[in-house]
Amino acid sequence: MSAQAEVLHNYVGGKWIPAQAKEFVDVHNPAIGSVIAKTPLSTRADLDAAVQAAAKAFPAWRDTPVVVRARSMFRFVELLERHAGDIARTVTTEHGKTIDEARGSVRRGIECVEVACGAPSLMMGYGLEQIATNVDSTVFRQPLGVVAAITPFNFPAMVPLWFLPFAVATGNCIIVKPSEQVPLSTRAMFRLLEQCDIPPGVISMVNGGREIVEGICDHPGIRAVSFVGSTPVARAVYQRGTHAGKRVQALGGAKNFVIVMPDANFEKSIEIITESFYGCAGERCLAGSVLVPVGEAHKEARDRLVEAARSLKVGDGMEAGVQMGPVISGTHRERVRSYIDKGVHEGAKLVLDGRGVKVADRDNGFFLGPTVFDEVSPKMTIGHEEIFGPVASIHGVKTLDDAIALMESHPNANATSIFTSSGKSAREFARRATASMVGVNIGVAAPMAYFPFGGSRDSFFGDLKVHGRDAFEFYTDKKVTITRWL
Ligand code: NAD
């Protein structure tokens, strides 16, 4: 551990304050392997201080006109635009993805803030006069109070922006607990938020791990919890949070199936599919994981994928021309390697092996090359577990029905894609897929900020999804007033 690495502070009550932590987690630059900061594992007392500050701020923030709250988010958009390059560099430094990928993720995050700026329109209720003689009725949406968001490592800037702007614009006070592996991007955004006329206590950042997550689920002062991460933790957060009476939306892991029909445009499709499987080093909840070529598509899809994957330039994401950065940590690299080992052991055919990749002048980086397995079956570990790394598993089938049956037999249902030139196949596929995010000739079916984002089955626990109109529903309660005009 580097002696110089800075210990991060929490942001509570409008101030940066040290956590009462006794344990710390190293934040790495995954391309170099060096420790760049230490995340304190805050205690429940730290969380409680944030909840108290938020509860104190809530009455005045709730009463602040919605247009004034939205103006804070307009200011935030302006600052994010101005500092987008710096934030993207922070994302690449602590996460490893390429700088272009980081810029793209910051752009997606900014779009969320832009949608939240529409709160005066999107938070509107509705009403009806004369529901009985001289009686009218109105529905207003009111903020819930103190809410919390718990985020994963793979999109350090974008995922916090799925929640914070919507919570703030609708009049809630929010506590963000970023992933302990990538807290620096959230900190950088909070430094911008400090300049957005947001009163102390409305936004808090509490660093930590499991203890804070469980504390958030249990704390009686928190009304709603948003979670993004792996399926086991998403399920646990949903159960614990709802048991404590909270509104919870918990987005879990994924195993995304990408179907290639024989009538696909192979040249374009495989280019898009390669980006889907290996973009962000496969550390995307919407990344392709299992390639399912149908019938005679198998050989051509496989050969083209292997060729495209082999040619990807792996390296430090900060360097020009690099197409795939490292994975998040040494531990995660070992985990992905062990999946590759298991794939070989369980009989899948390794057609491209990324285990031995080396990057010049980056001996300690957490690199892994693109990997392709053919002849994968759902019984194999790599056929059913989420790998979350640059590994493609190919499972050829005979018909579209077989492809759909294969996909539907998996408990996760986050995103899925089909590559075809047949409108009929595309429509059939989109109608029958349980996954809630479906791409037709799209490799990463990521809904824009004004649409709902989230999967189904073991990829999503809850009801209301992320961003779009669902965000305004999630962060508000509907109050009905019935008035008799005597
Ligand atoms: P993770 O589940 O390990 O961690 C997510 C958050 O939960 C972090 O803030 C972490 O501190 C906390 N946490 C970790 N273990 C915990 C435990 N035992 N108890 C309580 N809290 C705990 O996930 P990750 O590794 O940071 O992120 C990768 C996962 O997130 C993948 O499974 C990926 O598919 C998923 N993900 C899903 C979506 C989606 O939209 N569905 C988006 C991004 C990432």
3-state secondary structure 181-222: CCCHHHHHHHHHHCCCCCCCCCEEECCCCHHHHHHHHHCCCC
Phi-psi region of 467 (alpha: psi -120 to 50; beta: other; left: phi over 0): left
Phi-psi region of 134 (alpha: psi -120 to 50; beta: other; left: phi over 0): left
Pocket test of ligand 1: the residue of 151, 182, 230 to mutate, having most ligand atoms within 8 Å of its CB, is 230
pLDDT of residue 3: 56
Q: Is the CB of 429 within 6 Å of ligand 1?
A: no
- pTM exceeds cut of 0.85: yes
Q: How far is CA 28 from CA 24, 184, 192, 294, 388, in A?
A: 13, 11, 23, 41, 18
**Tokens (6 digits) for 23:** 């344990």
136-188, pLDDT tens digit by residue? Answer: 999 999 999 999 999 999 999 999 999 999 999 999 999 999 999 999 999 99
Q: Is the CB of 286 within 6 Å of ligand 1?
A: no
Determine which one of 112, 196, 217, 285 is catalytic: 285
Pocket test of ligand 1: the residue of 182, 239, 285 to mutate, having most ligand atoms within 8 Å of its CB, is 285
Phi-psi region of 386 (alpha: psi -120 to 50; beta: other; left: phi over 0): beta
Return the amino acid letter for 189.
M
H or E element: which one contains 239? helix 231-243
Which one, of 224, 73, 206, lies nearest residue 142 by Cα?
224
Q: Ligand 1: distance of its center to the CA of 182 in Å?
A: 12
Strands 34-40, 24-29: parallel, antiparallel or unpaired by DSSP?
A: antiparallel
Pairwise CA distance, residues 156 & 227, whole Å: 14
**Using the 8-state DSSP alphabet, how is residue 364 labeled?**
T
Q: Ligand 1: distance of its center to the CA of 227 in Å?
A: 8
Average confidence (pLDDT) over 243-263: 98
Which one, of 216, 234, 232, lies nearest residue 224 by Cα?
216
Pocket test of ligand 1: the residue of 213, 214, 225 to mutate, having most ligand atoms within 8 Å of its CB, is 213
Q: Is the CB of 176 within 6 Å of ligand 1?
A: no
Q: Ligand 1: distance of its center to the CA of 189 in Å?
A: 20
Which one, of 156, 218, 162, lies nearest residue 474 by Cα?
162
Pairwise CA distance, residues 85 & 83, whole Å: 5
Q: Which long-range contacts (CB under 8 A, 24 or more apart) does 462-465 make?
A: 462/238, 462/248, 462/249, 462/250, 463/249, 464/247, 464/249, 465/249, 465/436
Residue nearest to atom 36 of ligand 1 (CA): 229
58-116, pLDDT tens digit by residue? Answer: 999 999 999 999 999 999 999 999 999 999 999 999 999 999 999 999 999 999 999 99
Q: Is the CB of 90 within 6 Å of ligand 1?
A: no
173 is annotated as an active-site residue:
no
As beta bridge partners, residue 478 has 141
Pocket test of ligand 1: the residue of 233, 339, 386, 437 to mutate, having most ligand atoms within 8 Å of its CB, is 233
Average confidence (pLDDT) over 125-138: 98
Q: Would you give the distance in Å from CA 146 to the centre of its chain? A: 22
Model confidence at 1, pLDDT cuts 50, 70, 90, reads very low
Q: From the alpha carbon of 178, which atom of ligand 1 is closest?
A: 9
Pairwise CA distance, residues 211 & 96, whole Å: 26
**Tokens (6 digits) for 132:** 């009985």
Q: In sequence order, what are the residues at sequence separation of 6 or more whose Cβ sits closer than 8 angstroms to the Cβ of residue 353?
A: 340, 369, 371
Pairwise CA distance, residues 32 & 318, whole Å: 11
Q: Is the CB of 281 within 6 Å of ligand 1?
A: no
Residue nearest to atom 13 of ligand 1 (CA): 210
Pairwise CA distance, residues 417 & 433, whole Å: 9
Q: In sequence order, what are the residues at sequence separation of 6 or more whose Cβ sits closer than 8 angstroms to the Cβ of residue 59?
A: none
Helix (H, G, I), strand (E, B) or coil at 131: strand
Rounded to the nearest 5 degrees, what angle is found at the Cα of 337, between the Cα atoms of 303 and 281?
A: 60
Q: Ligand 1: distance of its center to the CA of 23 in Å?
A: 20
**Tokens (6 digits) for 267:** 């040249």
Cα first-last separation, the chain: 73
Q: Say if residues 251 and 454 touch (Cβ distance below 8 Å).
A: yes
Q: Is the CB of 160 within 6 Å of ligand 1?
A: no
424-440, pLDDT tens digit by residue? Answer: 999 999 999 999 999 99
Helix (H, G, I), strand (E, B) or coil at 6: strand
Q: Ligand 1: distance of its center to the CA of 233 in Å?
A: 7
34-72, pLDDT tens digit by residue? Answer: 999 999 999 999 999 999 999 999 999 999 999 999 999
Q: From the alpha carbon of 180, which atom of ligand 1 is closest?
A: 11
Helix ranges, 369-463 (H): 381-384, 400-408, 423-432
Percentage, residues of the chain above pLDDT 90: 99
Residue nearest to atom 14 of ligand 1 (CA): 210
- Transcribe 55-66 into DSSP letters: HHHHHHHHHS-H
pLDDT of residue 4: 74
As beta bridge partners, residue 413 has 456
Q: Ligand 1: distance of its center to the CA of 61 in Å?
A: 30
